[in-house]
Structure 1
Amino acid sequence: MDEHDYVYQLRPLIVPGLMFLILYPLIMGSVHFFRKLPTMELRVLIGIYVVSGLGILALWVIGKSKHVQIEEEQIVFQSLLGEHILEPKDIRRVAFYFDGKGQEVAQIRANDEFYYVSEFYFPFPELMSDLENFIQKYGLRSNLQSYVGLNK
């Protein structure tokens, strides 16, 4: 099995945030223009805008740093928040399911922690294939057979 690096896609997170950052001043500016807002309200609205902008920037920086690598004998989750290395002996169960929005998700339970792999990682089909091969190679406990049966 070759080592692949799967990166986190930022478009689903950042595009709505950028739309907010563009539209918010236009809407608030027009409200202020037609109805003079008191200084206190205007400062609160500007504060909300600044905090939102900083939050979106933080999401972008953390999301840009997120990677998953499936190597020969381990799965490595990396981000600015740290690196987590999972070896087959650490993994208790892998569950495949569809979330409420119909997106495919793999939940990896290692000891008392959960790690999630979703369609936000690119390229997702290759990641799922590598994960399925990893599960089969090491005989990990999973719902892979019933999951594969649903997709056929």
Structure 2
Amino acid sequence: MALWDRIKESASTMQTQLNAKKNDLKSGAFRDASMAICALVAAADGSIDPAERRRVAQLIASNEVLQNFDAADLQQRFESCVDKLTADFDFGKVSLLQEVAKAKKKPAEARAVIQIGIVIGGADGNFDEQERGVVREACFALGLPPAEFDL
């Protein structure tokens, strides 16, 4: 199976698993951690261009699980996360990983945050090593083994 097909299949599987848990994923910690992981994945290479920012914002708005939350609120939170990374990438990354770690208390939410990161990273068909790296770091922040997610 080609790498492209495996990435698409993995992202699709993660989205299916997320959809099955949708009703359990309504906390503020999950919402905030999800927006943080989206920003981290979008800026995994150290920068985020306007087109990528728009693409990730569209993915957030269309994600069935994230529809548990107000779209305008999610957009504002995502933009705030991106702004932290834009202002000072290293400090912003530390801050956002701390935000991700807040979902650690509920294992289902912690796993869902990682799955959101994988879905966002694989949405363009290229879940590259930098994106995989930030999702691995998020796994560590949440106390989850990256191998559980093939990372």
Higher helix share: 2
Relative to total residues, which structure has the larger strand share, 1 or 2?
Answer: 1
Give the structure-2-normalised TM-score: 0.28
Find the structure with the greater CA-based Rg: 1
Q: TM-score, normalised by structure 1?
A: 0.27
Between the two structures, name the one with larger relative contact order (CA 8 Å, sep ≥ 6).
2
